[in-house]
Structure 1
Amino acid sequence: MNLSARIALRYFLSHRKRSFISIIALIAMVGIGVGTMAMVVVLSVFNGMEALNREIFKSFDPDIRIVPAEGRRFTVTDSMLAAINRTEGVQFVTQVIEDNALASYDDQQILIRLKGVDSTFRDRHQMDTTLLEGSLNLNGPNGTRFALISEGVRNALAVSLRDTFIPFALWYPKTDRKTINFNNADAFNQVTVMPGGTFFVESRYDDIVFVPLSVTQSLMGLDRERSALEIQLTADASESRVQKQLRSVLGKDFVVLNRDEQNADLLRAVKVEKLFATVTLSLIILVAAINIFFSLSMLTLEKKGDTAILFAMGAKPALIRRIFVSVGNIVAFAGAGIGLITGILICWVQKEYGLVSMGMKTALVDAYPVELQWGDVLITAVVIIIITIVVSFLPAARAARQKTFGQG
């Protein structure tokens, strides 16, 4: 331990003899500790929410989604499908037609997001865990066509899967009309299907209804036009490599999105909220660290005699400055160390035992998800180091200018 650190430690430990200064230092230490703990816990909760969202995406969104670079739909060709299927790592290619439509059931109506999918949708087994009632099969015996209905649509229309007499009707505006009279049924195409199953992922998907691709083709008057192609990869496939190959195969007319890019807005919102939380908690730590400034300011006044003796013995101003900066470091790092350990312990307990619940029966998880990332711990440590240097420098520099007893 060098000389400046030894003197700083002695000053710190001697605070117990000087109650007022020691109280201010203790307040600073506790404040920094609480702020550090809060930052670790809050950032870990944001990480947990981001990981939870990614798990939700896996139960609904495809691994890769291909959409047109311009417009809402594109014409799919056999050669395009063949080229995609030949790409290494591609397991299923699901053709999709998606648009808003009107659904009615037993005199009730609601606007929905209608999603027509081909037979590979069932083979993906992606939504098996989201099924609440019924089946994921969209094509039944004797040409019966079924709808897979989200829980939100089911509740809004009071749909009963057991009632086989009431059809589930779908309405879509006819494209050959320049104007639409919403009071005229002739202005809409209509098809009927039977409710076959209900699912729940989370509220963001509560307006979706799945039907066979042939239903949307008939309803919207389409032939080879598609809204998207959804791709499920094999278990050993590299998402980034397949995405790069598909971009090369399809060219600039198509956008190839991985799962994160499909949900970029939501993930960006989580990251922005995390950034604001980091800035806010950093300001709280700064407010707590201001007590270090006051504590060191009073300590420099009290130690004017000591600094004069050190100068008389040949000490340089840099040594005096390092002594008081070291005192500030001891106070800050002691509080930060306690806060880091406490925050990590809280995250571990929450992850293992789920002590803090979401408090909602409809929540996807019982307890708040947490995921500790060491990068966040490093950011917290850097923030504390910067704040400590800032609040300690001015009192330390003032102490370094004191040359003799009673002289500032």
Structure 2
Amino acid sequence: MLKLPIELEIGLRYTRSRRSKAVGKRDGFLSFISGISTAGIALGVAALIVVLSVMNGFQKEVRDRMLSVLSHIEITAPDGLPDWQTLSAKVASQPHVLGVAPMVSSQGLLSRGEIMRGVAVRGVSPSEEGSVSDLPKQFVAGDIADLRPGSFGVVLGAQLANMLGVRLGDRVNLIVPEGDLTPAGVMPRMRALNVVGVVDSGHYEYDSSLAILHWQDAAALLRLRDPSGLRVKVDDMQRAPQIANQLASLVPQALWVTDWSRSNRNWFAAVQTEKKMMFIILTLIIAVAAFNLVSTLVMTVNEKQADIAILRTMGASPGLIQRIFLIQGLAIGLLGSLGGVGLGLLVALNIDVIVPAIEAIFRVQFLPRDIYFISQLPSDVRLNDVLTVGLMAFGLSILATLYPSRRAAKVQPAEALRYE
């Protein structure tokens, strides 16, 4: 049978509950304190893994839903692109570019009866929009092919259609900022539109404010002869900033080239700041749990002074005594870290089942659609986050064991046995 080193055997024995007639109650209490320390580390690690996974999932889900409506890269001009077909062909021939489509973008005011809503007016090319976004797949009523030039049809976001109380075939009025000069002064430009479709992207901000027209109709309303820009889709959205810089060197300097990360910089910066702050706050929870080991091990050292003295009189060196209590602390830290990683992964990987169950039991909704971008709690577990949290918790446990183990090594046998 394999014989364990004596310091390992004694350190693990101190970690477990060992009851005897003489000191059974006190040993049991020490084991209970060790269990509490282990549980505290495990809960802190699990909480940090779940929170980081949820925030990663939230960022990924919102980003993907944004990019199902928005484009990876936009090339725009304030007065339109006169030779947009040539520019489109040139951009489409570049590496990593998957699709290019014309667009017209503006703001407007949509009204029906006494109800008025501010909207983002977007002109698209029905035949080419599928190459740059998922918009054609998001129709819940109608079809993108129903947007025909000259018909002045409009496709509304699902939430916007509900706000206005419209269905397919209803008519709405669109007012655009550009006005017409009349003898009575500047009059706002208004056009009646026929609702030909409804889209649901799952992103409340866009579903409640998006009005889509054929780009030629949108250009006519804005008195433009050409599209105001091009929408570009690339093969890797994470490389969109680099690809945008490359395209900027190919197009005329008068054109603006922006990527999705710049267009939504404030939102993503806020999410990253929140993630960092949550990491710091929950790390403090793990630190508190890890440094509970100090009190646990100090109590163990005080309780085991007679044992330490006996070992010293039998020839044990101070280094061996120190290693015994280091092993006890490391065992607690390792068990807590591994248990926390396991619990955190279990919860994070099943968050889509756990959260709806809690909402059903308590009849609450954690993410109302009219407040948050999404209505379901997502999770994206990343290996580097799990490893970072687990190793950090174990490292804090190592730090917490240094002082008690050194104190144990300094116990003098004569002093320890004086009152025994």
Question: TM-score scaled to structure 2, two decimals?
Answer: 0.79
1:204-353 equivalences in 2 (<5 Å): 204-205=205-206, 206-224=208-226, 226=228, 228-233=229-234, 243=244, 245-250=246-251, 256-260=257-261, 262-312=263-313, 315-350=316-351
Tell whether the 8 Å contact from 1:114 to 1:208 is kept in structure 2 after alignment: yes
What is the identity percentage for the equivalent residue pairs of Structure 1 and Structure 2?
A: 24
Matched, 1:100 2:103: no
Shift of residue 256, structure 1, vs aligned partner: 4.5
Matched, 1:33 2:42: yes
Tell whether the 8 Å contact from 1:95 to 1:118 is kept in structure 2 after alignment: yes
The corresponding residue for 2:140 is 132
The corresponding residue for 1:171 is 176
Deviates more, 1:193-202 or 1:72-81: 72-81
Report the CA distance shift for 1:266/1:31 in structure 2 as closer, same or farther (over 3 A): same
Amino acid at match of 1:387: L
Report the CA distance shift for 1:369/1:319 in structure 2 as closer, same or farther (over 3 A): same
What is the distance in 1 between the residues matched to 2:412 and 2:270?
55
Shift of residue 130, structure 1, vs aligned partner: 1.8
What is the distance in 1 between the residues matched to 2:122 and 2:234?
21
Report the CA distance shift for 1:120/1:261 in structure 2 as closer, same or farther (over 3 A): farther
Tell whether the 8 Å contact from 1:145 to 1:194 is kept in structure 2 after alignment: yes
- CA RMSD, 1 decimal: 3.5
Tell whether the 8 Å contact from 2:148 to 2:214 is kept in structure 1 after alignment: no
1:15-42 deviations in whole A, cap 9, x for unaligned? 5541221221111112222222222233
Shift of residue 326, structure 1, vs aligned partner: 1.8
What is the distance in 1 between the residues matched to 2:41 and 2:278?
16
SS of equivalent to 2:154: strand
SS of equivalent to 1:102: strand
Report the CA distance shift for 1:47/1:214 in structure 2 as closer, same or farther (over 3 A): same
Report the CA distance shift for 1:232/1:13 in structure 2 as closer, same or farther (over 3 A): closer
What is the distance in 1 between the residues matched to 2:160 and 2:166?
8
Matched, 1:61 2:70: yes
Shift of residue 93, structure 1, vs aligned partner: 2.0
Q: Which runs of 5+ in 2 are unaligned?
A: 360-364
The corresponding residue for 2:362 is none
Q: Which runs of 5+ in 1 are unaligned?
A: 178-183
Tell whether the 8 Å contact from 1:138 to 1:145 is kept in structure 2 after alignment: no
The corresponding residue for 2:411 is 402
Report the CA distance shift for 1:208/1:386 in structure 2 as closer, same or farther (over 3 A): same
SS of equivalent to 1:250: coil
Tell whether the 8 Å contact from 1:146 to 1:196 is kept in structure 2 after alignment: yes
Which of 14, 21, 30 is the equivalent residue of 1:21? 30
What is the distance in 2 between the residues matched to 1:251 and 1:380?
48
Deviates more, 1:286-295 or 1:357-366: 357-366
Count of paired positions:
391
The corresponding residue for 2:123 is 116
What is the distance in 1 between the residues matched to 2:400 and 2:180?
68
Amino acid at match of 1:272: T
SS of equivalent to 1:286: helix
Tell whether the 8 Å contact from 2:46 to 2:341 is kept in structure 1 after alignment: yes
Amino acid at match of 2:187: A
